[in-house]
Amino acid sequence: MQLKSIVAAALIASAIPFTGHGQILTERNISLPLALQVAQAAMAACKADGYDVSVAVVDRAGDLKVLLRSDTANPHNADLARRNAMHRLPQRLVNVRVADRDAAMADPEVTAASARESEALAGRGRVLVRPSGTEPLVRVMVEAPTAEEADEVCTRLVAVVERVSPAG
C-alpha cells in the first residue's frame, strides 16, 4: 500500500508542469584572461600614441577585474582608473572649419569659454578644444551626463570658435 502511494505521488508530480523552467537567468561575464587581454591591448594602443596610462577593466557588475599601470605613469592614475572604470558619458564632437586654427586657439574668448564650460562640467564630464594637426579645423569635444547637455555645451563652444575665426 505504501509503495502504491509513493508511485502514485511520483506519477502525479511528473505530470505537473515545472513552472520554474525558463525562469533562471544566465549572465555572461568577462573572464580574467579576456579582461587581461583587453587591458594589455588598451595599454599598448595608448603607449603607441605616446601616453603613459593606467587601465582598469571591470565586469558587468562594475567590480574591478584587472588594473594595469604603465611603468612611467603617475601613481595616482591607477586610483583614477579604478574609480572611473567604464564610466561612459554621452559625447559630442564637432570639427569647426576656421581660417587660422592657431589664432582661434589663442583667442581669449575661446580659452575663456573653454575654461568656463570645463568648470561647469567639473567632476561630471569634460571639454576638449584643440586644433587639428593637419587641417584648418578646431575640434570641439564635450562629454556630459546627458546627450542634451553635451549638445548644448558643444553648440555654445562652436559658436565662439566660429565667431572669433570664421572659415575663409
Same domain, yes or no: 104 and 144: yes
Residue 63 lies in a domain: yes
Asked if residue 12 belongs to a domain, the reply is no
C-alpha cell at 82: 579604478
pTM summary value: 0.52
Whether residue 138 is contained in a domain is answered as yes
- State whether the Cα torsion 105-109-115-117 is positive or negative: negative
Task: Point out the domain boundary residue: 60, 84, 108.
Answer: 84
Q: Is residue 67 part of a domain?
A: yes
Among 17, 51, 84, the domain-final residue is 84
- Give the domain CATH number at 106: 3.30.310.50
Which residue, among 150, 158, 100, 149, has the nearest Cα to 129 in the 3D structure?
158
Q: Of 83-97, 133-147, 149-163, where does mean pLDDT reach its minimum?
A: 83-97
Specify whether 50 is located in the same domain as 70. yes
Terminal alpha carbon distance of the chain: 101
Q: What is the mean pLDDT of residues 20-29?
A: 64
Please say if the pLDDT value at position 14 is more than 60. no
Distance between CA atoms of 75 and 54, rounded to whole angstroms? 9
Q: Within this chain, do residues 57 and 112 fall inside the same structural domain, yes or no?
A: no
Q: Which domain holds residue 102?
A: 91-164
Does one domain contain both 98 and 76? no
Least confident span in 37-51, 73-87, 99-113, 139-153: 73-87
pLDDT tens digits, one per residue of 44-90: 888 888 888 888 888 777 778 888 888 887 777 667 666 655 457 88
Q: With bands split at pLDDT 50, 70 and 90, how would you rate the model's confidence at 8?
A: very low
- Asked if 114 and 150 sit in the same domain, the reply is yes
150 and 130 in a single domain? The answer is: yes
Same domain, 111 and 77: no
Split into its structural domains, the chain has a count of 2
